[in-house]
Structure 1
Amino acid sequence: MRTIEARVNGEECRGWFPETEDELRGFRDWLVKAQRRGHVAVDSETTGLNVYAPDFRVRLVQFGTATEGWLIPVEWGGQFRRAVVWALRTAHALTIHNAPFDGLAFDREGFISLDDLFAKVTDTKILAHLYDSRPFEEGGIGTSLKPLSVAYVDPGADDGQKALVKIFNASGWTKETGWAHIDIRHPDYQRYALLDVLLGSRILPILTDKLTDLGTGKRLGDYEHEIARIGAVIQRKGMLIDAPYTTHLRDELMDEKGLYLRKANAYGVTSVDAPAQVGAALVGMGEELTERTEKNQLSVGKEVLLPLADLDKDWHRIGAREPNPLADAVLRSKRAGKWAKSYADAMLNLRDANGRIHPHTNTMGARTARWSVSNPPLQQLPSSDWRIRRCVIAEPGHVIIASDFAQVELRVLVALANATSIVREVNNGADLHTLTTRMVFGIGPEVTDAQLKNDPRRKLCKIISLGKAYAGGIKTLARQTGLPVEQVKQAVGQYDRALPAIRRYGKKLTREAFQNGMTVLTPSGRTLRLSRDKAYTAIAYMCQSSARDILGQALLEMDGAGILDHVIGVVHDEVIGSVPATDAEEIAREFGRCMDMPFFGVNIESEPEIYGDNWGMGYKGPAREAA
């Protein structure tokens, strides 16, 4: 029996690493006694972070309390594996920091199913987010185990990772690869593994008490655990990739990168990743660049170049100016290179043995609890390009379906603002953007909705409405529209006068935030903390968080209806599925039924569609070519 010692907040703690069957009996006895006292913390050490990589495996599984822990070398198989399976299935109250990761790892290894684990787990990362979702750079602590431990458990807490990385580097491994190669008996590795459960055990009661003091009800915590389980189920399902097409696309994108780099070369720019070159060339072409970086260099980021290229954030032509050819070339060369690496290459490299990718789904990825999707970052794809989405295909005999909410953030906004006249019109079938355009600019029935569809005034009102829901300032709106700041400022003034309920609601939220310690409380009971110098974000946070909770409720409805297994991804407000072609219409309708619901008087509606044999077909892309 190996013994590992560690000190936490001045207290001596101990862990054990059994190497024989007799020593495992001690672990079983310990677990039975520990469960009588309350939650047992669980963690795992694995070969990497991609649970579905062909060579992924779980090496250690740790169980612990505030002062004691056991490290079980599950990679040795046999009796050690059986002990872990027994412990996970027998224990009735577990705590894990970031349960979806360990849950997926345990599920893949066959230790315990996701459903069975989540039925008895408390995720301290979820609790940390509910208490304070701000990242460190915005005044919070973040939700990672070490900074939480430093803040709440032991100011000198050290999880031992820095020591491990030094060992990795000295052995010729990287921070990513060292986990698979280090000797499982290495004392620094074992100390690191022990500390995870010791700290996790101590954080649980602290966060529980803090949430009680905050007034966050148990119901919201239970809801978030259900949503986390659903996100893990969707990640486990994954997306089938068309490998030949994706390989061809990668090569095509690299050619595209080179093509636009050569166009930039014509203006004296030898590297599109050299801001100084790009800035100097644009100034030489007569462009006026006013924004600067923290290092006082001319800013030539995407947000600056898009208006110069006469493009909006979805890469549609704005029509406000003659596109600058250098800005256009720089943008397109950089995008092609990024897409080749971050999407095409990533999809090919992240495939599992069955040709699927499993994008990492964080169901509380943003400060407002909006979902985030990474590896690859599917949420960053613009709606104007189908090529990356074309990589995702339906299973044989299936088609891709999807259902997207219709203007959900804005419907939430008018409902919470009690804009009753707008709610009534929307519930009667009016398009919200067209309706606000008529109100702002006094457009009568002599102009039809069809005529307004492509009217620049409608686009301006749409951007202003989204700016209200996403805290976009005048300068941001000016960039997105390509219009002068003064003109946008005037339009926003007209908007506020035409829709006074929204303006009043924003002021009310800001006033209440100052009165309540710079916090706002969402309808679900979620406390969102604001930065004192950004009180104007109250309305945006309220809309985004409420819209996210509506999405969560829709997914719970899908789970209850027995159709969650068809869902292969959630990107923004779009729920994507792969379903048998013969049942596509019925399941698409069921997607829509689960997503449609009332919210404070407004009808939340969705738009279910049958795309075809690939995801890109929902974005005007082609069907797959016949084999």
Structure 2
Amino acid sequence: MRTYQHVIAGDTITVRVPENDHDLDEFDRWASSLRGPVALDTETSGLDIYSPHFRLRTVQFGTAREAWVIHWEKGGAFRGSALRALRNAEQLLIHNAPFDWLVLDHHAGVTLESLAPRTLDTRILSALIDPRQAGEGGTGHALKPLSARWVDPAAPDTQEGLTEVFRAFGWTKATGWSRISLNHPTYNLYAGLDTVLTARLAPVLREELRRLDVPDQLTEYEHQLARICAQMQRTGILLDQQYTRQLVTRLGVEAQEHADRARRYGVESVNSPAQIAEALTAMGETLTERTGNGALKVDKPVLLALADLDDDWNRIGARTPNPLADAVLKSKRAGKWRQTYGQTFLETVDENSRVHPSINALQARTGRMSATRPALQTLPSSDFIIRRALLADDGQVMLSADFKAVELRVLAALADVVKMKEAINAGADLHGFTALQVFGPNYTEEQRDLCKSIGFGKVYGGGALGISRMSGAPVAAVQRAIDAYDRTYPEVRRASKRWQREARNAGFVYVSPTGRRLPVDRDKVYAVTNYLCQSTARDVLGQALIQMDEDGLTPHLRLPIHDEVLASVPAAAAPELAHEIERAMTFPIWGVPMEANAKIGGRSWGSLYGADH
């Protein structure tokens, strides 16, 4: 038996690493004697769970005072002992549980359905206490920083020590996990201490949640969503590999062609803001906005306006397009699509031609979900080129169901906006109704679009300048429309002021109707409207996912995308399943109906956006 000791918060704890059958018998006795919760963790060769090269290396168990590191990679009796402990544990404490659920589900044969009901995820608890990342003023949700905050300031020391070991061997963080010896002392100590830290972190976080009056129902709800999202990740989405390889080649050529166009205007690198700003100025463009360090700003919004394009890359018609801005935008877009989507699809596809995006059910400050590697929730809203690579299963078609104007409906419900609620309940086109109030019965389609932009600006905090840039309308005209909008829906402005006041009085935190804590920055208290609406809309989607799960629809689900759900359904049953999904996404909140439209496509996700397959 290898034994290591370490001090945490003044206590000496022990990490044990069994080396033979006798040691494993001692572990079995320890595991079977436990009557309380046990912390669980795994060490693996990387993060791509479904890659053919991925390996489960260790499974470790721990309490507040000791840990056991079982070398799964050795096979035989080691795996048997780990499996017995996994199956017999009454309650599991896991940090970032979906990852370990899926690792054990795929590589150890212990289903996530058997693990999830017994799990308390300390990452979820931390996000309900403070959802902010470290760069936003919070502690973040990684185990070591949280442990440094709540357990012992020296908690990150073992992580830093392991990083030094990787460097000493010339490895990176990405490669070190697969190469380090199972017998390396720092590796084993690191593995064991993570369970001890998790075991100590859990009761502290639970007590803090009680102190903050965060409802137990919200914690249970988030664990349900984590399990549903993990099931979707496990299912994955079928990839058309031949199309994807051709797409990667085509996008590479396109990126180079547009980069060559930019070079004719003196821009050697489309990723150099200084070169772009200098060239645009030489062409007679006036750049007025600056970055925090004083450089002229030439980010995507600035370039879109100069290229006379809206956020969906449609021509606005407000000016003559600048050819350099157009070339830079198109080169960078092609390069991003090639690497972020096409290449990542091919790097992460499994042996069954499926990609498994990692779905974080609690990503943003507002709780909004995200999918990474591949980042399918950041796909362009109006383009089918990338989506064409992703397919429904054999004999099935893609189905998408999205809420109707969910952010504005949530705003109408939260702020009790009388006219807006009347229009929604009457089944009116909300943006058209708003344009009628603002511009009169002869409003144009452009004016309707402007009212739509203003409505979303109210939700997301966009001002006249940003809406002007997005719509192409003059700033003064946008401001007049905003003023008319405020007269039409005065409750929105009043509610925003009230929410800001309540957030200030509560120490710059607003609590949503579901009990979610939403910290607001002191210099951006106005963002509370954005956070509240986005958070509530996310919880509307979460409730719909739970209803779908109760209705037995989860096996069809592939991905949650902000206010939309993507599914793969048998072609013959598509109309019936579309109706069931719509029904699960239809329910009222404070007198405002949340409703969804389901659209049935063809074989590819792109067919829902105009692709012919």
TM-score (norm 2): 0.98
Matched residues in 2 for 1:312 and 1:502: separation?
26
In the alignment, is residue 466 of structure 1 matched against residue 464 of structure 2? no
In the alignment, is residue 138 of structure 1 matched against residue 136 of structure 2? yes
Matched residues in 2 for 1:490 and 1:128: separation?
44
Match of 2:253 among 252, 255, 262: 255
Alignment of 1:56-75 (within 5 A): 56-75=54-73
Contact 1:74 1:81 in 2 (8 A): yes
State which drifts further: 138-147 or 168-177: 168-177
Q: Deviations over 1:65-112 (max 9, x none)?
A: 111100000111111111111111111111100000000001102342
In the alignment, is residue 597 of structure 1 matched against residue 587 of structure 2? yes
The letter for the 1-side match of 2:22 is D
The letter for the 2-side match of 1:560 is E
Matched residues in 1 for 2:31 and 2:487: separation?
65
Contact 1:361 1:372 in 2 (8 A): yes
Deviation at residue 159 of structure 1 after TM alignment:
4.7
State which drifts further: 569-578 or 484-493: 484-493
Deviation at residue 465 of structure 1 after TM alignment:
0.8
The secondary structure found in structure 1 opposite 2:291 is coil
Aligned to 1:178: 176
Contact 1:84 1:111 in 2 (8 A): no
Matched residues in 1 for 2:110 and 2:352: separation?
22
Contact 1:159 1:195 in 2 (8 A): no
Aligned to 1:586: 576
- Percent of paired sites with the same residue: 47
Matched residues in 2 for 1:561 and 1:256: separation?
45
Q: Deviations over 1:421-465 (max 9, x none)?
A: 321221221111111111222x23xx4xxxx6x711111111111
Aligned to 2:24: 24
Matched residues in 2 for 1:497 and 1:200: separation?
53
The secondary structure found in structure 1 opposite 2:334 is helix
Matched residues in 2 for 1:224 and 1:357: separation?
24
Matched residues in 1 for 2:423 and 2:298: separation?
43
Deviation at residue 535 of structure 1 after TM alignment:
0.8
Deviation at residue 118 of structure 1 after TM alignment:
0.8
Match of 1:355 among 353, 356, 359: 353
Q: Deviations over 1:111-163 (max 9, x none)?
A: 42111111011000000000001112222111111111111111222252222
In the alignment, is residue 573 of structure 1 matched against residue 571 of structure 2? no
Contact 2:419 2:489 in 1 (8 A): no
Matched residues in 2 for 1:455 and 1:291: separation?
30
Contact 1:3 1:17 in 2 (8 A): yes
Contact 1:522 1:542 in 2 (8 A): yes
Q: Deviations over 1:519-541 (max 9, x none)?
A: 11111111111111111111111
Aligned to 1:199: 197
Contact 1:63 1:197 in 2 (8 A): yes
Q: Residues 568 and 159 of structure 1: is their aligned pair in 2 closer, same or farther, counting only changes over 3 Å?
A: farther
TM-score (norm 1): 0.96
Matched residues in 2 for 1:325 and 1:108: separation?
50
Match of 2:533 among 518, 524, 543: 543
Q: Residues 156 and 169 of structure 1: is their aligned pair in 2 closer, same or farther, counting only changes over 3 Å?
A: closer
State which drifts further: 244-253 or 221-230: 244-253
In the alignment, is residue 512 of structure 1 matched against residue 510 of structure 2? no
Match of 1:55 among 49, 53, 56: 53
Aligned to 1:287: 285
Aligned to 1:374: 372
Deviation at residue 604 of structure 1 after TM alignment:
0.7
The letter for the 2-side match of 1:3 is T
The letter for the 2-side match of 1:358 is H
Q: Which runs of 5+ in 2 are unaligned?
A: none
In the alignment, is residue 607 of structure 1 matched against residue 605 of structure 2? no
Aligned to 2:403: 405
Deviation at residue 420 of structure 1 after TM alignment:
2.6
Contact 1:316 1:384 in 2 (8 A): no
Q: Deviations over 1:363-396 (max 9, x none)?
A: 0010000001111112221222110000001121
The secondary structure found in structure 2 opposite 1:434 is helix
Alignment of 1:38-53 (within 5 A): 38-53=36-51
The letter for the 2-side match of 1:259 is E
Aligned length, in residue pairs: 613
Q: Deviations over 1:285-309 (max 9, x none)?
A: 1111122223322221112211111
The secondary structure found in structure 2 opposite 1:314 is coil
Contact 1:313 1:382 in 2 (8 A): no
Q: Residues 111 and 83 of structure 1: is their aligned pair in 2 closer, same or farther, counting only changes over 3 Å?
A: farther
Aligned to 1:531: 521
Deviation at residue 181 of structure 1 after TM alignment:
1.1
Match of 2:479 among 479, 489, 500: 489
Cα RMSD, aligned residues only: 1.3
Matched residues in 1 for 2:555 and 2:157: separation?
37
